[in-house]
Structure 1
Amino acid sequence: MKSILNIRIDELLKKQIELAAQDEGMTASEYTRNILEGYFDFNQGENTENVIPIRMTMYVSTPFHETKEYVFLITWLYSKVVNPYVYESNQQVLSIKRMLELAIKDQVFSNDFRFELLKVLNDLNNYLYQPDGTGKQFWFCVPNNMFSLDCNIMYNEICTIQNL
């Protein structure tokens, strides 16, 4: 027999659950139920009256804007605007690309800022797929072109995040 359990959670956590559920093609309720059943090692077909659930550590992912990687990414973006030369290895660029992908998924950011991050991500992808020795460079840090990162949007986003 199934019963209903109402819980209160942070709005950001709710959005993360809804997005993860959508990615899995299920409702937020089904997704949360699957997580809880996995956490308590619940088997519907067995008699569970005398079964003590096995406890596992559940890690709730920290929103990207609350991580050290966020601080690194913002610092790196500003440093590239000041000094656009590429000193990073492809491995470092891949690491920055991963951070950008996480930042773009963070629902706390505005669509404008996420669009700016998408421009940078696109630029990094182009950089990674260019053959070496062909004058590879980042274009998001070159001023006055359609690929340029809008630092005003980034600054406003940082101020907004600080006020949350």
Structure 2
Amino acid sequence: MSLLSSDLLAMIRGGVSVIVAARDAALRPSVMRAVGSLVSDDGRTITVFLARPQSRQLLQDLEAGSPIAVVFSQPSTHRSVQLKASRVALRPAQPAEELLLARYREAMERELANIVPDPAFTRAMLAARADQLVAVTFAPEQAFEQTPGPRAGLPMGTGP
């Protein structure tokens, strides 16, 4: 069973902004925008894709064993969730995943169309060479509401 509701999984699978964070041994944060994401069919694992040149510190922190925090946010509504996990698996992105990443970019273009009408902006923001992509897979252990409002920061499924 997934930690996340089917409704939340549907949002995450759509065109949403994905921000990935970790920390080093001195607790200094490292943060980067992912250029795509993939949720497993059963919703138990999530893979985010990072461009190695822009994500060196973040990847170094994850490789050193840092926990991961990922925020998925729907720009048009600001609906957001933060997922955390204590472990990740890293690997080079596979050629077959290029189609998935293209679909993610298209979904983000649609999501941002009312905010940023020129799709060139979204394409530039998510541009990355396929041979430089790193897939970071994790099984969410904690989920927090991050949509602005009185529940922001609360664990999912708690409170009124």
| Bin for the TM-score computed over the shorter chain | under 0.3
- What TM-score does the superposition give when structure 1 sets the normalisation length? 0.27
- What TM-score does the superposition give when structure 2 sets the normalisation length? 0.28
Q: Which structure: greater helix fraction? A: 1
User: Which structure has the larger Rg?
Assistant: 1
- Higher relative contact order by CA 8 Å / sep ≥ 6: 1 or 2? 2
Q: Which structure: greater strand fraction? A: 2
